[in-house]
Every structure is written in C-alpha cells, then in structure tokens.
Amino acid sequence: NLGIIAFAGLPLTGKTTLAKELERLMPITRIDVDEIRQFLFKHYPVDTERDRDKDAKQMFASWQSLFILANNVIAAGLPVIVAGTFSRKIYHYRLMVISEDHNVPLKVIHCSTPDEVMAARIEQRRKDKENPSSLKDLEGYYRVKARYVKFAAPDLLDVDTSEPLERCLEQITDFIKAR
C-alpha cells in the first residue's frame, strides 16, 4: 500500500501541479486543501489581507475536511495524495496520526523553489484571472516564509520545483517506489 503521499511547501511551489501529475500517472485519490476551500467557500470569497479572521475560519474548515477525507480514503484501504502547505505542526501531527492509526506509510514531498523563481511565479499568478493566488507580492511571500514550519517526517524528499517537471516527477516516483 502506498499509504499517504503528502505534498507540502510554501504557496506557489508547485505542490498541486506535481500532485495532479502523480494522480495522472497512478490510480490514487488526490485531495488538495485549496480545492476543498474553493469548493466549500466559492460563494464567500475573502480578502486574505483585510479579513484575517474569516480567512482563518475558512482555512480551518478546509484543513479539517482534508483530514476527514484522507482518513476515510485510508480506512477504505486505498492510498491517498494530500496537498497543502502543511505550515503548522498540528497539521503534521494530524497526518502522522492517520498514518499510525491505519498502519500505512507516510511519505512527504517537500516542494521548494529559489526566490527569483518565486518572484516570477507571483507575477504570473497576478496576471492569471482564473487561478489567483492569495500571495500578491514577494513581500507577502517572505512573510509567509518567515513563519513557515517545514514538515519534519522521517520519510521526506526535498524537490526543487524550478527543475523541469519530468525531473521532479522522476525523483518523486523513485522516492515512492524505494520505500
């Protein structure tokens, strides 16, 4: 059993892109916290800079939903991909508990990219009306980065997503098969 494959990292580091590609390559359920939030709250948009309380409540509900869904998929005996920042230790803990409760492996893929690549991604997202990001500028990215807590898992792969997509996927599939 592949168990739980978690894609973690700062916003715009390519977690969702890589998780979707992995899902395309293998029969596995993919759950993304940003997609859950969009589904739950699409009629209730929040300006993340101006209404931090509402933003926090929506994120909390989205994370709770992710953990419930992941637990149910694993309980059904199926592997799952989960994607999100996993920026808080409580999120790490919740995923580890699901892994331990069901005796399945937890493999964490930590996505990162150099700051100059991030600046270009932020600018690109700013122009993208279909796929906006809550990150409006590099200053906002640095604020998020300063308080980010990297997932500390024994089975962890660091992936530099400035590398070509095929190279990243090769590293990830090798990592998953090796364990």
pLDDT higher than threshold 90 for residue 122: no
Residues 25-60 have pLDDT tens digits of 998 999 999 999 999 998 888 776 678 888 889 999
What average pLDDT does this structure show over 113-131?
81
Band the pLDDT of 172: cuts 50, 70, 90: very high
What average pLDDT does this structure show over 3-29?
94
Whole-structure pTM value: 0.92
* Rounded CA separation 89/149 (Å): 7
Any idea how long the chain is?
Answer: 179
